[in-house]
A and B are shown apart, each in its own frame.
Chain A
Amino acid sequence: MHRAAPRQRQEHNGEQAVPHRYTDGRVSTQRGGCSNSGSITEEGMHKSSPLNPTLKRSSPNGSTLSRFLFWELYREADMLGVLRREVACQGAHAWGLEQGLRVIASRALSSSAKAMTVRDALNSALDEEMSADPKVFVMGEEVGEYQGAYKITKGLLDKYGPERVLDAPITEAGFAGIGVGAAYYGLRPVIEFMTFNFSMQAIDHIINSAAKSNYMSSGQISVPIVFRGPDGAAAGVGAQHSQCYAAWFGACPGLKVLTPYSSEDARGLLKAAIRDPDPVVFLENELLYGESFPVSAEVLDSSFCLPIGKAKIEREGKDVTITAFSKMVGYALQAGDILAKEGISAEVINLRSIRPLDRAAINASVRKTNRLVTVEEGFPQHGVGAEICASVLEDSFEYLDAAVERISGADVPMPYAANLERMAVPQVEDIVRAAKRTCYRSTALAATA
């Protein structure tokens, strides 16, 4: 069944694949308007893989060796859930297992696959930056003797002493203000909020004392401070402990707002944040702390740093762009796998930076895929997704083949009961459903006759 033109809306009901040439020369072989997800290139795999950030061509044919290495790696990476994702997404389609093995083998030869939890990533980043610059100090509740409420600052008190790792009383307005004042003087504080819900007690200092000072003083008073801590929903902690503040802080000029997902993100972005001369709000996620991700030797190096304001394409795709940050990146990747099985190739963007927002990367992706689904945990109104949708509508309107879609937390305070809580936070099936909507795939029609 041919599609007349990219913009016309037509319902497709899963007919036999027919090649279709779009007006700009793209060719699709898939049913309906979405192209075949099976055409993931080796290059695409490399780009989406955290295992090896540098592109390496595959090694010569050595299927026995490849197979052996594959299973070694698979066992190790299996618990990380990484390889399973990647193998799954090419399993059923154009990829042969051989080709997949060759790629994985080459990666094995070119990098040592070490794994690190997000917690350790943050801890090591703090440790290295404190070691490199004596002006860096940490202040917050339980960061010292308790080793950190979530153990992110474990070992730092023993290593750097009580003058540089300070246990503060439960007085956020007070210690956030003290941190900002110290930053005025030229120190580099890392202020921890036990969760960002408590940052509301200090929000005047974050916005009025920190974010705006460089501008109001015309460059005289800069504020090289980092406010960090877990943000967003945890599990069963109720309404007052579950809010996501990315949208609120992301609105403020003068702040930089970062949202790491993987261990590589955690290390690279926290180091960048501490080195940055401007106030940075660093939004972590409690449920990610224990998750392990592979890290390359480059990531483990003490000079490793990620650029602020640049998103990462976690998974390349052709049919729909899914933007996400923090924990939702994992969900989006899972959704990408499910969509792939149904012939929809999703491109998953890990935003990494809420402010500055990488509009260029988002728009470039949407111009390629023509469809957008934004995912976030926070409240829907005035959320991060709203900004992304607006940006795409403004800059890439002609490229859209479908209305933009937003998946977000529910428009309610977080309930406690597990079934209600599940409904209040995005689930993978929500992302899948929205992506399908952009491809004009109604789930009701997916059932067999």
Chain B
Amino acid sequence: MAMALTRRNLHLLCPIFSARLLTTASTSPITIETSLPFTAHNIDPPSRSVQTSPQELLSFFRDMALMRRMEIAADSLYKAKLIRGFCHLYDGQEAVAIGMEAAITRKDCIITAYRDHCLFLGRGGTLLEAFAELMGRKDGCSKGKGGSMHFYKKDGGFYGGHGIVGAQIPLGCGLAFAQKYSKDDNVSFMMYGDGAANQGQLFEALNMAALWDLPAILVCENNHYGMGTAEWRAAKSPAYFKRGDYVPGLKVDGMDALAVKQACKFAKEHALKNGPIILEMDTYRYHGHSMSDPGSTYRTRDEISGIRQERDPVERVRKLILAHDIATEKEMKDNEKEVRKEVDEAIAKAKEIPSPDPSELFTNVYVKGLGVEAFGADRKELRAVLP
């Protein structure tokens, strides 16, 4: 547990202050009850009592605050036209990414759709790589060629970053298949939204995962809106954790990082022995579907602010930290200031990075290009040989 925490923190470039706070924080266990009980389908739910530690709670706070700050900064960059195209923000859903990371290792795989910035960070990606990619610069995690929806970190077990709704589920079952085939004793988490939950290919893949006992964990991040369509308008049965029928499911308070951690730990143990399981994370996104969507034409502002007040995941952990005297108010405020500074510095650095070289237009089309020619818009003007 402690190893996992320090590995995650290494690249977060902890400034001195909170690094000290984190490393001096105790690792002695605390038990905390989840805010809500788990609702189970075809399985006995795990206990509501979650084992954690002051250090873990502090790292939860720090990482979630970092993710929150990153997404808000991305919003500003998008409005400043430094980020183009699509930009799907995750703020409000941080607890899912953080709780999951706490329960698994980098050998387990995660695959998701296009709301992938924070999951990338959780898997070991850096702020600099993230911002550079968003702005299309050459040192982005995909060298500027992917964009917001195509972040990858294979060495961290993160397989992207996919733009086609629902496609990531069969792909994730494929990862699980490969893990089982290779006898790796690890699991794959495939994240999808309430919108994707109705996709046919989900059921096709789930059927095979169940038939072949694949270590596949389907995680429905139910933020209650598939783009502009509320779940009750899109699904006859919005009880997504039950939709697996013969596949067991668990409904989890997705705004509670500890509940998420407990559920993922439980799911991993189950999947390694018994095959697929569905986790439905009851969560919420503060932003609209993407930066082109204000998010307020199909939801009331009261609803959004109500969730922010009652269920915000970062606030919940802050309250826990204060309630257990793990840190003072001032220390927490300073923590947040540092996070902000870290994000601002990363953005400033990312802005300095140049765009990819024009020759990169033709790289990575193939692993083995066989020396064939590829053409630009005017083939008499622009051609390249693929190595």
Contact = CB atoms under 8 A, between A and B. Distances in A.
B205 A177 contact: yes
B370 A171 contact: no
A209 B172 CA distance: 12
Contacts, number: 158
B146 A171 contact: no
Interface string A162-183: 0100101101011111111111
A205 B178 contact: no
A91 interface: no
Given A182-B178, A217-B142, 15 more contacts: A174-B205, A175-B204, A177-B201, A178-B208, A180-B171, A181-B159, A185-B174, A187-B182, A205-B167, A205-B171, A216-B145, A222-B367, A224-B367, A278-B367, A309-B370
B16 interface: no
Contacts of A213: 160
A176 B170 CA distance: 8
B364 A219 contact: yes
A290 interface: no
A177 B160 contact: no
A46 B234 CA distance: 66
Interface residues of B, number: 52
B82 interface: no
Interface string A197-224: 0000000110011000111111111101
Q: Which 10 residue pairs of A and B lie closest in terms of their CB atoms, listed nearest first?
A: A181-B174, A177-B170, A174-B204, A185-B178, A171-B204, A218-B143, A181-B171, A356-B372, A277-B367, A178-B174
A204 B366 contact: no
Nearest to A162: B212
B177 interface: yes
Interface string B90-112: 00000000000000000001010
A253 interface: yes
A413 interface: no
6 contacts: A137-B181, A168-B208, A173-B201, A208-B164, A218-B364, A254-B365
A184 interface: yes
Nearest to B180: A163
B207 A171 contact: yes
B161 A217 contact: yes
B143, B150, B169, B171: most-surrounded residue (chain A CB, <10 A): B171
B179 interface: yes
Contact of B145 (A171, A218, A307): A218
B175 A181 contact: yes
B173 interface: yes
Contacts of A214: 364-367
A173 B373 contact: no
A6 interface: no
Contacts of B145: 215-216, 218
B152 interface: yes
B163 interface: yes
A217 B367 contact: no
A277 B368 contact: yes
A173 B204 contact: yes
Interface string A215-250: 111111110100000000000000000000000000
Interface string A384-403: 00000000001000000000
A86 interface: no
Given A174-B208, A184-B159, A185-B109, A218 B367 contact: no
A239 to B, nearest CB: 24
A186 B142 CA distance: 19
B172 A174 contact: no
B366 A181 contact: no
A181 B173 contact: yes
Nearest to B201: A173
Given A169-B211, A184-B174, A217 B146 contact: yes
Nearest to A164: B181
A433 interface: no
A171 B374 CA distance: 35
B358 interface: no
Given A181-B175, A205-B167, A221 B204 contact: no
A166, A168, A184, A218: most-surrounded residue (chain B CB, <10 A): A218
A76 interface: no
B177 A181 contact: yes
B201 A186 contact: no
A384 to B, nearest CB: 16
A208, A209, A276, A394: most-surrounded residue (chain B CB, <10 A): A209
A156 interface: no
A383 to B, nearest CB: 19
Interface in B174-206: 174-179, 181-182, 200-201, 203-205
B365 A169 contact: no
Contact of B152 (A171, A209, A217, A253): A217
Nearest to A256: B366
B84 to A, nearest CB: 16
Nearest to A189: B174
A219 B143 CA distance: 9
A359 interface: yes
A182 B160 contact: no
A224 B142 CA distance: 19
B170 A218 contact: no
B8 interface: no
B341 interface: no
A219 B152 CA distance: 10
B319 interface: no
Interface in B18-35: none
Interface in A24-63: none
B330 interface: no
B386 to A, nearest CB: 8
Contact of A169 (B160, B200, B207): B207
B249 to A, nearest CB: 19
A173 B200 contact: yes
Contact of A185 (B164, B179, B200): B179
A208 B169 contact: no
Contacts of B170: 173-178, 180-181, 205
A204 B166 CA distance: 11
A180, A254, A356, A394: most-surrounded residue (chain B CB, <10 A): A356
Nearest to B368: A277
